[in-house]
Amino acid sequence: MLQKESKIRILENFKSLDYVFFGKPVTEMVSCCPALVEEYMTSKGAMMSLMIEMLQLLEHSPSKLDEYVDKNSLTENAINSAVIARQNAEDLVQTEQGRADIKAELKEALLEDETINLDEEVKDRIRQKAFGLAIDNLLVARAVTESNNHENLNEWEGEIIEDAYKVLRDALVENALFILESNDITV
């Protein structure tokens, strides 16, 4: 059973994901296809369900809250968390390793299809990488730092959760990018 603070962190992260991708709640996005938003919400819900499993495995134990958390403070914390996650992701993408990862992905994409628009592909790969890193920072890095037993991620169950997390993260990023492209928004 998760502590009250862990449950609040899950709610905060649920809201934060929208701010990471869109800078506002997804419900305020105007999309050409409501099915895109529905698919995004489904992926986001699955991600939070998996995060509950991860937090339990990690024996998540964030700092105790001394004050009441209402909707406004939860939203404010979600926005702040998203801003920090995006900044950390931007810093990581600009590292030598971040650039090398993107170059490797581009080489692979060029081997698969030599006719791709390289400028667009570079832009897309950078956005995918940055969003993925932001989510990792927001959800996993924070969970690990607030946990008592992060070594459990190296166990069999932890590896399964981590593999599922990566699949859901990639799906969530893909769905968010579809929404952004349908709105022709650059974030």
What are the boundaries of each domain within the chain? 4-183
* Residue that the structure tokens 């992701």 belong to: 89
Mean pLDDT of 40-44: 95
**Residue 5 DSSP SS3:** helix
Cβ(55)–Cβ(143) below 8 Å: yes
186 pLDDT higher than 70: no
CA–CA separation, 101 and 121 (whole Å)? 14
Task: Give per-residue pLDDT as tens, 15-38.
Answer: 999 999 999 999 887 767 788 899
185 pLDDT higher than 70: no
184 pLDDT higher than 80: no
Tell me the backbone φ, ψ of residue 15, rounded to 5 degrees. -75, -40
pLDDT at site 31: 67
CA–CA separation, 153 and 144 (whole Å)? 9
Mean pLDDT of 133-145: 93
* Residue that the structure tokens 């399964």 belong to: 160
Mean pLDDT of 47-73: 88
Closest-CA residue to 147 (of 47, 82, 56, 84): 56
**Residue 43 in tokens:** 């992926």
88 pLDDT higher than 90: yes
pLDDT at site 150: 85
Closest-CA residue to 153 (of 137, 167, 141): 141
pLDDT at site 12: 94
- Based on C-alpha coordinates, what's the Rg of the chain? 17
pTM of the model: 0.87
